[in-house]
Structure formats: structure tokens, C-alpha cells
Amino acid sequence: MKKILCATRGGEASRKTQDAVIAMAKKEGATICFLYVVDVEFLKLTARGVRADVVTTEMEHMGEFLLALACERAAEQGVEAEMCLRHGPLVEALESAARAEGVDAIAFGRPAGPDSSFSLADLERLTAQIEKDTGVKTYIV
Amino acid sequence: MFTRMVKRAGRQHRTVFVFLVLALALTLPLDQVSSLARTQETSEEVAQGMSLSGRLLDTLGEPVHDAEVAALEECRVEPVTHTASQSNGSFLLDLPSGTYRALTIKVSRPHFQPLEWQLSEAELDQLNTSGSLRLPDIELERRITPGFWVATLSFVLILALIALERLHKTTAALLGAALVLGVSLVGGTINPNLFVYDFEEALGYVDFDVIFLVMGMMIVIGVIEETGIFQWTAYQAYRLSRGKLWLLVTILMAITAIASALLDNVTTMLLMAPITIQIALTVGINPLALLLPEVLASNVGGISTLIGTPTNILIGSYADLGFNDFLVNLTPGVVAALIVLTIYVILRYRKPYAEAGGRLSDAMRERLRQGGRITDPEKLRKAGVIFGIMLVLFVMGDAIHLDPAVTAIMGAVAMLIWVTPDIEEMLKVVDWTTLVFFIALFMAVGALEEVGLISMIATAIGNLVGDNLTAAILVVVSSAAVLSGVIDNIPFTATMLPVVGYLTRTIPGAESDVLWYALSIGAAMGGNSTLIGASPNLVTAGISERAGYRVTYIEFLKIGLPAATITVIVGTVWLFIRF
């Protein structure tokens, strides 16, 4: 294993996933590609006039900040990590990044609890689908 | 030569006269011109015959237009004459000359009880003697028709589709308006009681002051938001607070409230939230401890000006309240509410603020600094000058008879000419779906007015509060606050406008406009109580989730409900002090 792709954000659950992936990369001697997906679908929640382009730019800044934090955490553990920013729905962005970055593995965080966006069963179905689509091995850490 | 001079002077006077007539014609609204013409025609006709005039009002004292008014003589099926009531409810029946021994006025209109008015002997005497008679105002009773249910159910459908997020707000509002129009026009030919209004009447309910004010402000805000001013001010708050979390949240809340008052609270939160999350991570605190106070302040701050929230824009236009009216009558109350809200927030989050810690690397601090810089200083300078002038015009608007909508459009045009001359680019910042949402919503609420649902609500509230202004204030504030927490406050406020208008006319002391401010406070501050109560809450939660910090409904309720309660109380107390 040479390069692990890990979609991340900035919350407590994301940090746990980052730690697990950093440990996995350290053990395997791999590098990490942290991915943040910019998605402004939430703008549909308001009927008010907003500039999606300006909001997208701000979300990119925030994403880069969160990715830089993740990379610093990896660097502190002696693991090399790089940042990757994509736009659009999560699964499409993940698959596109996996192909573009030439990764060997994709790591997903285990659902943190009832507040998590995914149930474990949903996540397992998703990882199986991504593995089938990209041919890249997936791990739930 | 003298004769030539006189002739030339005469030509000049004629030319001036023609221009004056043209100018006068252009100055007078078309309906006034046509009404002048009608008056002239009527005078000529009256000279040949007899006339009977009057005015039709509903039970709220509102004029009833387009009612069919017919005069019938005894033992005759065909009316002697008939007409339709005008927009002010008045009607004029031209009667053939003669002596009338008995005359009945029949009034009919969809959604009203048919009425027959038998002229008394005294009235007949006056008519026969003088040739004209002015009847006392005639009150028409409402009745529930199939059209009533069409309009009411369409509106309920709009609210439900929005609340359940099954359709986009604009699509939902358009669907509701289209349903009413479709049933009205197609079904109305089969059963007249299904008729609600025609397309022209439906458009008459659209408040174009609101549409143009919203559109103008969209362009102005669209330019300002790409300058980086929001991010810069947020970063300055971080810099100035020097690690004191209570000071940081206080400054951030103040910035958010002011920006929301002058621009728009959704835009403010969309641009403040990402940088706030970065600041929170830099100071080592859960971002929600800064984001939620900001969004609460944003909803409260927006109330202080006419342009701060869509609900204020609706209220201001309907009630003819200017920018200064909101500044004088609401801003002090909003400032008081914000102070109390800040104290509440600091107490509520005292533990996480005290425990905040952790230093990020210099590289991360530099990244934060880069994110909090002005991106286009030249554009900001120009946009700032224009916006400053706009604020002056908003304030002076009442004195110089300049509508806020005109000021907003002038500001937008100035931005087009001076800041971003590319009209294609500028027009992209106008969110047409929002404008269509407002247009469709006005039509849907207009249908409720047509069929009498608004009158029923107004009458019910009027009966509940009687002549008691205090009770009316409390009912308006509390109902607006509670309902805004569970349904979208824009349709709610649009529906309440004629209701509050009726209460303002009928309750002694309410002519001070206090009930409009009560509606503003309730509708906007009540939105703080739940996650779905206001658009800024939802978009902030959306951004927060993208950063890995999920805001649940319950979590928002825990901080939002007490915040809404205390700010509504402070706002209401202010109204009692002010009025």
C-alpha cells in the first residue's frame, strides 16, 4: 500500500478517523491523500438570493484549512500527507479523486453514533459500491 | 411687428400650455385620468337622468370592488340599471328619469352573501325630488364558497410543501398560485363560486415595491459580498479579542448583527460561518459555541432596519413605514435584546469558553490571516461609497419622498455603472427564483384575501382582544413568535399583513403602528427558537455540517428557544416603553 485516500472534515469523528488512517499509513509506510469535498447543496434550504460562487470560494477556504490541519496532524506523526479538494456529491468526488490520485486504498471513518450521517450498514454498502466502481480496496477504520 | 410679437407670444403660451397638459397627464396616474374622464361623462349623464351612489364595504371596513350592483323596480325582473363597484368600493347607478315608487338595490359578488337593499320612502322622496341619492355605506357579509376552500387549501399546501421540503419554496408558491388561478378561471366558468380572481386581479396583489427593493439590494449585496469585508471583520474580531473568548463572541455577535441590519442576514451568515469555524479551531473551541451565538444575533440584528429582513421589507411596504420608522421605533429595542442575548450566550457557554485552548502552528495562523483579508480593496472602496450614499438616502427618504425601492434600484444602477459594468455578471447575482417566490406568494395571499379567510382571522383576533391594545400587542408578538418557529416566517408575515392592518385601524391607540413592530419582533426573533425557524439557521447548520460539526434540531432548540424567549420579552417590553 503506497497511498491512502481519506475523505475528511473537521469534527471529533473526523479527527478519530484521521488518527486511525495516520496509524494505518505509518504501519504500511504509505502516504495519505486527505480529501475535502465542497458541496453547497445546503443553499437550497433558503429561498433567499445568495451568490453560490462566493459561498463556494469560502467553503474552499474552509476546506483547505481543515485539510491543512489534517496534514499537520499526519506530519506530527511522521506521515507524509497531501491535500485534495473536490466539488460535488461525495461519492462522485471520492471516485474521481481515487482515480486521479492513483491511490491504493480508500479509508472511511466508522459511523460515530446515532447522530452520524451514515449507519454502518449504509457505509458498508457504499464502500462495496466504490470498490466495485474504482477497483480500489476500501477500509472502514 | 407688435402683432407678430403678440402672435409669437401666443404660440409660445400655447406650446407651454400643451407641455403643461402633457406633464400633468404624465404626473397623474392612469386610473386618476380615467376616473376624471368618467366623472365628466357621469356629470353629463346625470344632467339627463337620475343617479344613485354608495359604497360597498366588507365587515372589516375594507372596500369591496368588482361587485355587481343592480337597481330593480317593483315587479320587474330586468334591472333598471346596473354597474360594478370601483376599487374604492364606490358605485354610481345612472337611473332613467322618472318617479320611482319602489326601488331595490341588489348586490352580488363571489364569496359574499347576496344583498338586497330596499330604498325607504324618505330615500325615494329624496331621489325623486333632487334627482340623486347617496346611500349610506353598505356592509357585505362574507360567505364560504368552494373558491374559499380552493384558496385556503392551496395556501396550506404551499406551507406544507415548504415545511416538509418536498418542493423548493418558489415551486411550492408557484404551484399554489397556479392552482388557484387554474381552478378560478377554468372551474369558474362551470361554477361561479369557484372563481377567486382573474390574472389581472391576481397581479394586483403583487407588491412591486418589495420586488424592486429586494432586487436592488441583491445586486448591491452581491457586489459587497465578493470584497471580503465579512471575512476581514471576523478576522479582526479574532485579532482584537486576544484569546478572550467572551470578547471574541461579543465582537462576532455585534458584527453579525450590524451586517444583518444593513445587508441581509442569510448572506452575512453564509460568509461569516466558514471563517468563524476556522477561528474557532484556531482558538481550540467547538465552532458551534461561536456559530450559534452568531446566528442568533443575526436574526435579532436584522430586525433593526427596514432592509435587514424580508419580513421587515414586507411590513414596511405594506404599512408604509420608512427606514427611519424602524430605526427610531425598533433599533433601541433590538440593541437591548442583543445585550441581553450576549449575556445569555456568555453564561450559556462559560464552560467551553473557559476550557478553550490549544495553539495551532504559525502556518495555520497565517492561513487564517490570509482567509480574513480584503480580496478586492478597490471594489470595496467604490461599493462602500455607493452603499454609504444609499444609507443616507434611506434615512432621508421620508423627507424627500424617495421610496426605499427606488433608492435600492439607484444603488444597484450605480454599482453597475461604477463598480461592475458587466451587466451579464451583475444580473447573475439577482436570484430570480426568490423574486418569483415573492410574486407567487403575494398572489396566493391575495387569493386568501379575496375569499375572506384573512377577514375571518382578523375578525377572530379582533374579537379576542377587543379594544385592548396591550392584549393585541401580546397576541401579535406571541403568535408571530410561536408560528415563525414552525413555519416559514415570510409566508406567515405576508398573511398577517392585512390582519395587522385591520387591527391597527380598529383598536384605539394602534394607529401609532405599534402592532407592525410587534409583528416584526415576533416574526424575526421567533425564528431563533428552532433550527427551521429562519433561513440563516439552516444555512449555518449546513456549513457547520460540512465542517464536521452537526447541529441537531434538539441542540439548536436548547439554545435557541431560551434565546428567542428572552429576546422577544425584551423586544415586547421595549414596545410598551416606546408606545
Contact status, residue B348 vs residue B559, Cβ threshold 8 Å: yes
Please enumerate residues of A whose Cβ is less than 8 A from a Cβ of B.
8-14, 38-39, 41-51, 54-55, 58-59, 61-66, 68-69, 72, 115, 117
Q: Which domain holds residue A36?
A: 3-104
Which residue do the cell numbers 398573511 mark?
A: B495
Residue A38 in domain: yes
Give me the interface pTM, i.e. the ipTM.
0.90
Residue B328 has pLDDT above 60, yes or no: yes
- For the domain made up of B45-140, give the CATH fold: Immunoglobulin-like (2.60.40)
Residue B577 has pLDDT above 80, yes or no: yes
pLDDT of residue B578: 94
Residue of B270, B295, B487, B556 for testing the chain A interface, max A β-carbons within 10 Å:
B270
Looking at B164-244, list the stretches that DSSP marks H as alpha helix, in order from N- to C-terminal side. Answer: 169-182, 188-190, 199-204, 208-224, 229-241
Confidence of residue A115 (pLDDT cuts 50, 70, 90): low
pLDDT of residue B491: 87
Contact status, residue B533 vs residue B527, Cβ threshold 8 Å: yes
Q: How many CB atoms lie within 10 A of CB B344?
A: 18
pLDDT of residue B363: 87
Residue A130 in domain: no
pLDDT of residue B48: 59
Q: What are the DSSP calls for B413-441, one per residue? A: HHIIIII---HHHHHHTS-HHHHHHHHHH
* Angle separating helix axes B453-465 and B432-451, nearest 10 degrees: 70
Residue B36 has pLDDT above 70, yes or no: no
pLDDT of residue B1: 39
Structure-block grid coordinates of residue B437: 417566490
Residue B274, min C-alpha distance to chain A (Å)? 6
What average pLDDT does this structure show over A53-80? 93
Between A73-82, B54-63, B439-448, the lowest mean confidence (pLDDT) is in B54-63
Residue B39 has pLDDT above 80, yes or no: no
pLDDT in tens, B338-349: 999 999 999 999
pLDDT of residue B358: 67
B375 burial type by CB count under 10 A (0-12 exposed, 13-18 middle, 19+ buried): middle
Residue of A48, A66, A69, A71 for testing the chain B interface, max B β-carbons within 10 Å:
A48
The closest of A16, A38, A114 to B555, measured between CA atoms, is A114
pLDDT of residue A65: 94
Which residue do the cell numbers 414586507 mark?
A: B314
Which residue do the cell numbers 377587543 mark?
A: B466
Residue B541, min C-alpha distance to chain A (Å)? 9
The closest of A129, A138, A139, A117 to A9, measured between CA atoms, is A117
Q: Residues of B numbered 282-311 whose beta carbons fall under 8 angstroms of chain A's beta carbons: which are they? A: 287, 310
Which is more confidently placed, A117 or B148? B148
Contact check, Cβ <8 Å, B270/A39: no
* Paired residues of B73 in beta bridges: B103
Domain count, chain A: 1
Sheet holding B81-84, edge to edge: B81-84, B68-73, B103-108, B115-118
CATH classification of the domain holding A51: 3.40.50.620
Structure-block grid coordinates of residue B10: 401666443
Which is more confidently placed, B233 or B425? B233
Instruction: Provide the mean pLDDT of chain A.
Output: 88
Structure-block grid coordinates of residue B401: 419622498
Residue type, B124: L
Between B22-26, B102-106, B130-134, B264-268, the lowest mean confidence (pLDDT) is in B22-26
SS3 B68: strand
State how far Cα B344 lies from the chain centre.
Answer: 31
Whether the CB of B369 is below 8 Å from some CB of chain A: the reply is no
pLDDT of residue B12: 43
Q: Say which of A43, A47, A63 has its CB closest to residue B170.
A: A47
The closest of B203, B505, B246, B212 to B356, measured between CA atoms, is B246
pLDDT in tens, B523-567: 999 989 999 888 899 899 999 999 999 898 899 999 999 999 999
SS3 A116: coil
> For residue A115, what are the contacts with CB-CB under 8 A and spacing of at least 6?
B550, B552
pLDDT in tens, A33-59: 999 999 888 887 776 667 788 889 999
Residue A95 has pLDDT above 70, yes or no: yes
A71-75, B362-366, B419-423, B481-485: which is most confident: A71-75
> For residue B467, what are the contacts with CB-CB under 8 A and spacing of at least 6?
B507, B508
Residue A112 has pLDDT above 90, yes or no: no
pLDDT of residue A114: 64
Whether the CB of B548 is below 8 Å from some CB of chain A: the reply is yes
DSSP state at residue B140: E
Domain-by-domain residue ranges, chain B?
45-140, 146-204, 209-452+463-578
pLDDT in tens, B385-436: 999 999 999 999 888 889 999 999 999 999 989 887 677 777 777 888 888 9
pLDDT of residue B561: 95
d(CA B421, CA B415): 8
- The percentage of chain B sitting over the pLDDT mark of 70, rounded to a whole number, equals 91
- Report CA-CA distances (Å) from B467 to B75, B471, B473: 46, 9, 11
d(CA B249, CA B262): 20
- Report CA-CA distances (Å) from B417 to A71, B389, B420, B422, B424: 45, 15, 7, 9, 13
What average pLDDT does this structure show over A84-111? 91
Structure-block grid coordinates of residue B85: 363597484
Which of chain A's residues have a Cβ under 8 Å away from the Cβ of B277?
Answer: 10, 62, 65
Residue B438 has pLDDT above 60, yes or no: yes
pLDDT in tens, B237-281: 999 998 899 999 999 999 999 999 998 888 899 999 999 999 999
Contact status, residue B349 vs residue B423, Cβ threshold 8 Å: no
State how far Cα B547 lies from the chain centre.
Answer: 35
Confidence of residue B503 (pLDDT cuts 50, 70, 90): very high
> For residue B192, what are the contacts with CB-CB under 8 A and spacing of at least 6?
B110
pLDDT of residue B208: 93
Structure-block grid coordinates of residue A94: 471520492
pLDDT in tens, B281-293: 999 999 999 999 9
Q: Say which of B274, B430, B538 has its CB closest to residue A45.
A: B538
pLDDT of residue B62: 84
